[in-house]
Structure 1
Amino acid sequence: MSEDINLLTVDSLGAEQSVIGSMLIDARCIKAVMAELPAADLADGPCRNTYQAIRRLSLEGKAVDPVLVQEAVGGGQDWSKWAASLMEATPTAANVMEYVRIVKECAQYRRLREGASRVLETTTLADARQAAQALSAAAVGQEVRTGSTASELAAAFWERLKAPKPDYIPWGIETADAKVCAQLGDMILLGGYPSAGKTLLSLQFALLQAQKGYKIGYYSLETTDIKVTDRIMSHLSGVPLWRIKDRALSDADYQALAKTTASFASLPFELVEASGWTADDITAHAISRGYQIIYIDYLQLVPGPEKSNYERVSTTSRKLKMFAPRHRVAVVALAQLSRPDKVNKKDGTQVLIPPTMQSFKESGQMEQDADAAFLLWESVPDDYRSPRKFKLGKNKEGERFTTMLAFDGARQRMVEMEEGPDNSVANDLAARGQAVKAANRATAQANQVTFRELVGAEEENPFEPQEVSA
């Protein structure tokens, strides 16, 4: 249906009756209709009750015909006459999906009108924002969800088992793809120490997901779109970031960047400079844009009216957690970790204590709200070139893990490292650690002040009075 058609003139009731008539005369269309049409979209009571009865019979694996539907509805002769009139008025089920589309659009139109009325009836800004969010949800066709019985849940479970493996959100890191069963509607945290590479890794994730067809909204609260775009082009093209910044580009670099620009321009990826945006601003914008996955860089920067940082971050986390499943949008929130603790060893060196879920700065609410949480930190303290340790600290749907990522800051990339049979990765990390420790000791020794005793007239004593010549 064209969006400029006057929906007030559309026969919504006729479309609903045609859907029911089609399902009664040809049970083969039932599953296709069920996959597209929520019961709440049917405004007519008899049509909605009949649809729910047909849906229930189908989910229970029972045959669907007018006699069984009548029994499930609990209808008498009046229902039989009504159903017969629908079947007579619907000679074929060939157009059923067109009827479904009309019903859905009319339902969306009703919700938009109702939402607009609620906005006009509000008397406070908070109520108006809440009503506006509901209106935005209606504008992008968010369906109204109702409860399900145990019987319906069990039947739906077995139907899912017959289907292929779900499309879990990809991360481009083999271990994460194998262990993390994240889907739209989940909330994922990516926590890291300052300069660990959170933004780099999040952009790498977001670009891969966009390449797989997900519509991405990346909300940056601290970095300009110019700087983020430079990083993206370096990552995609393989041209070192410093060359882009210094404009020290070779002909090959220009060719690589030209090719990358064409492919990047076609991605369903949007970058939003969101400095000063509240959680409500971000979620309302995400709904209006129809994003499937949003990134927030980073969560502790999202402002709010709360007096303390703890309350503000906790409220922001709760709002994002409620938003994600309600609108089937995956939220990936970057977060700062508290400063790492270190312990002193007998040889005078310090060892970094690895972060845990309790390391998320400002609020423990994030830890509770997350469906999955990644942790990122340098494997060798004080060596920014060292590989990163990448840990899945929380996983509601599976096992946790820790792996190593090779860090290529020049090209804005991280790649998972495989441990060989000779433990080469571990040995290399140990060697890096020893080298950093040796360098620290050498620096300390070079800066150390030494004292020695001056004996007799061996050398001039600076503390004795000196004769002044006339």
Structure 2
Amino acid sequence: MTADLRPLDAEAAVVGSILIDPRCLPAVEQLLRPEDLALEINRVIYRAALSLRRGERPIDPVLIQEEVERQGAKLETAYLLGLMDNTPTAQNVEAYAKITRRHSLRRALDKLCDGAKQAAASGEPGEVLAGLARDAVELQREGVTDDLIRPDEALMAFYNHRDAVDQGKSKGCVSTGYRDIDLILGGGMLSSGMYILAARPGMGKTTLALNIADRVAERTGPVLFISLEMDVEQLVAKRVARLSGIPANRLLMGKLSEQEYAKMAQAAGKLEQVPLYINRKPGATVEQIEALARRVPGLALVVVDYVGKVSPNESSYRNSDRYNYMTEVSGDLKTMARSLRLPVLVLCQLNRASEGQKDKRPQLSNLRDTGALEQDADGVIFLYREAYYNPEGRPLYEPEPMEVILEKNRHGPTGSCELAFSMAVSKVTAISNDPREAARKYFQTEPLPEQTKLEV
């Protein structure tokens, strides 16, 4: 257990975590100052990593060693390698950092007590008490720096974010790959945001999520798709169906012609180049999902299908009631999104309550028995297809309208759009290819000026 780590082991694990996964450095920097590390060699390595980050340079053991030597210190390669070998994972780095910080405060408290004892032996009691009170308040203030952000620090964090957006290093959000959905979201899925995609079973949640995942992987960066309901073969069949035009059920169970085999092989060749990663095991806790996410370099999006199959991190909740179970999982997923600084798209299955409504379109009230999902989410997206409730006479292989309803948007307005859903080949496409028409329909304004451009 991390709580049982000795002080020097904990700080070694902090530095080792930075070496094996530099992406954890921002989280460490919020918790630790270099002077919180007891060993000078560890302070030197930590300072070098911070210096590289502030200089917007890559962070790896070779560059850290070079930076240490540039600053006039000596760092043995064997020590660096030892730190990396003895750190099993960077996943627990925040726990290591908190242990290190706690022991740093204890050292400072010991020093304060020793100094007060010496001063009390010869100094004026009133002056000693005043000095002790002043030092104690300062030490107490330092003890909560990891929990409080000063106004100037908060503004600096915002300006750093704004600079990254202005310089093209960060868009602040990840496009879904669907212009119409991005319009109602305000640009895309916010980095560090948790988004709920909810609907009745069979409405098309997994199909839309897979389509979004592939579009993000093709255009933005790698995607981790956590499937807790379907086997990998079923997911791949849906993806191949979309590209080949061969129904997914035939790809899984039917006899294919030579021409269809050729189409299947061509689609598979394209998918092989798309950086979409799928979990191997059928079950996972949020902690395990985060560990997988940290293994994917340059990850842009995490998709979880679906929330009802996720196990909470704390075993004490596994025998609890459904509401507490979902509340725990929801909180863990939100924390994961903030920790990874990535959008997390979470699929959720709605109960039958919406089917008893006159208007069967889902409402936020249909999420009320799912713990804190609605409260934790930055956005709640519902799917609705009229043909789901009135399937008679609907051609099986023709696209049908799918309504995408943004019912909650923490950072902007709500709204809806319509896409074309092809169930047989697991494909979701835009109904209109004219971005200007889509924008006019959503914003209900006069025609946009000629210079306005929106990505299709």
Q: What is the TM-score with the length of structure 2 in the denominator?
A: 0.59
1:298 aligns with 2:306: yes
- Following TM superposition, by how much is the alpha carbon of 1:370 offset from its aligned partner in structure 2, in angstroms? 0.9
For each residue in 1:116-142, what CA deviation from the matched residue of structure 2 results, as whole angstroms up to 9, or x when unmatched? 6xxxxxxxxxxxxxx98405999xxxx
For each residue in 1:71-115, what CA deviation from the matched residue of structure 2 results, as whole angstroms up to 9, or x when unmatched? xxxxxxxxxxxxxxxxxxxxxx9xx99745755999997976886
Partner of residue 282 from structure 1, selected from 282, 285, 289: 289
SS at 2:173's partner residue? Answer: coil
Shift in CA distance, 198/318, structure 1 to aligned 2, threshold 3 Å? same
* 2:268 equivalent in structure 1: 261
Q: Distance in 1 between matches of 2:174 and 2:333?
A: 18
Task: Kindly name which structure, 1 or 2, has the bigger radius of gyration based on alpha carbons.
Answer: 1
* 1:23 equivalent in structure 2: none
1:159 aligns with 2:163: yes
SS at 2:319's partner residue? Answer: coil
- Following TM superposition, by how much is the alpha carbon of 1:245 offset from its aligned partner in structure 2, in angstroms? 3.5
Partner of residue 334 from structure 1, selected from 322, 340, 347: 347
Matches within 5 A, 1:55-204: 99-100=63-64, 133-134=91-92, 149-152=150-153, 153-154=155-156, 155-156=159-160, 159-160=163-164, 162-164=166-168, 166=171, 168-180=173-185, 181-204=188-211
Matched-pair contact (CA < 8 Å) for 2:48–2:67: no
Q: Distance in 2 between matches of 1:276 and 1:292?
A: 22
- Following TM superposition, by how much is the alpha carbon of 1:46 offset from its aligned partner in structure 2, in angstroms? 9.2
Q: Distance in 2 between matches of 1:54 and 1:280?
A: 29
Structure 2 counterpart of 1:175, one-letter code:
D
1:229 aligns with 2:187: no
Partner of residue 379 from structure 1, selected from 373, 381, 386: 386
Matched-pair contact (CA < 8 Å) for 1:298–1:335: yes
Q: Distance in 1 between matches of 2:244 and 2:33?
A: 47
Partner of residue 392 from structure 1, selected from 384, 406, 425: 406
- Following TM superposition, by how much is the alpha carbon of 1:280 offset from its aligned partner in structure 2, in angstroms? 2.7
For each residue in 1:247-283, what CA deviation from the matched residue of structure 2 results, as whole angstroms up to 9, or x when unmatched? 3434442222222111211222122244332333323
Q: Distance in 2 between matches of 1:200 and 1:167?
A: 26
For each residue in 1:45-75, what CA deviation from the matched residue of structure 2 results, as whole angstroms up to 9, or x when unmatched? 699899999999x9xxxxxxxxxxxxxxxxx
- Following TM superposition, by how much is the alpha carbon of 1:405 offset from its aligned partner in structure 2, in angstroms? 1.8
Q: Distance in 2 between matches of 1:102 and 1:41?
A: 21
* 1:67 equivalent in structure 2: none
Q: Distance in 2 between matches of 1:401 and 1:294?
A: 24
- Following TM superposition, by how much is the alpha carbon of 1:41 offset from its aligned partner in structure 2, in angstroms? 8.7
Q: Which sits farther off after the overlay, 350-359 or 309-318?
A: 350-359
- Following TM superposition, by how much is the alpha carbon of 1:235 offset from its aligned partner in structure 2, in angstroms? 1.3
- Between Structure 1 and Structure 2, how many residues are aligned? 330
Q: Distance in 1 between matches of 2:80 and 2:345?
A: 29
Structure 1 counterpart of 2:306, one-letter code:
Y
Partner of residue 355 from structure 1, selected from 362, 369, 379: 362
Unaligned segments of structure 1, at least 5 residues: 1-33, 59-92, 117-130, 139-144, 344-349, 421-425, 427-470
Matched-pair contact (CA < 8 Å) for 2:203–2:388: no
Structure 1 counterpart of 2:210, one-letter code:
L
* 2:279 equivalent in structure 1: 272
Matched-pair contact (CA < 8 Å) for 1:217–1:271: yes
Shift in CA distance, 38/110, structure 1 to aligned 2, threshold 3 Å? farther
- Following TM superposition, by how much is the alpha carbon of 1:361 offset from its aligned partner in structure 2, in angstroms? 6.4
Partner of residue 328 from structure 2, selected from 298, 315, 327: 315
Q: Distance in 2 between matches of 1:50 and 1:218?
A: 35
Matched-pair contact (CA < 8 Å) for 2:195–2:345: yes
For each residue in 1:409-456, what CA deviation from the matched residue of structure 2 results, as whole angstroms up to 9, or x when unmatched? 121111233499xxxxx9xxxxxxxxxxxxxxxxxxxxxxxxxxxxxx
Matched-pair contact (CA < 8 Å) for 1:336–1:361: no
- Following TM superposition, by how much is the alpha carbon of 1:323 offset from its aligned partner in structure 2, in angstroms? 1.4
- Following TM superposition, by how much is the alpha carbon of 1:293 offset from its aligned partner in structure 2, in angstroms? 2.2
- Following TM superposition, by how much is the alpha carbon of 1:199 offset from its aligned partner in structure 2, in angstroms? 0.8
Shift in CA distance, 51/228, structure 1 to aligned 2, threshold 3 Å? closer
Matched-pair contact (CA < 8 Å) for 2:420–2:429: yes
Q: Distance in 2 between matches of 1:136 and 1:237?
A: 45
Matched-pair contact (CA < 8 Å) for 1:337–1:361: no
1:239 aligns with 2:246: yes
Unaligned segments of structure 2, at least 5 residues: 1-24, 69-74, 97-145, 313-317, 395-399, 435-440, 442-456
- Following TM superposition, by how much is the alpha carbon of 1:391 offset from its aligned partner in structure 2, in angstroms? 0.7
- Following TM superposition, by how much is the alpha carbon of 1:301 offset from its aligned partner in structure 2, in angstroms? 1.8
Q: Distance in 2 between matches of 1:409 and 1:132?
A: 41
Shift in CA distance, 312/109, structure 1 to aligned 2, threshold 3 Å? farther
For each residue in 1:278-328, what CA deviation from the matched residue of structure 2 results, as whole angstroms up to 9, or x when unmatched? 333323333344554222111012235132111111111111111111122
Structure 1 counterpart of 2:180, one-letter code:
T
Q: Give the root-mean-square deviation of aligned CA atoms.
A: 4.6
Q: Distance in 2 between matches of 1:241 and 1:137?
A: 45
Partner of residue 416 from structure 1, selected from 430, 438, 448: 430
Matched-pair contact (CA < 8 Å) for 1:190–1:375: yes
Matches within 5 A, 1:426-437: none
- Following TM superposition, by how much is the alpha carbon of 1:208 offset from its aligned partner in structure 2, in angstroms? 1.1
Q: Which sits farther off after the overlay, 404-413 or 300-309?
A: 300-309
For each residue in 1:127-164, what CA deviation from the matched residue of structure 2 results, as whole angstroms up to 9, or x when unmatched? xxxx98405999xxxxxx99764335245366346424
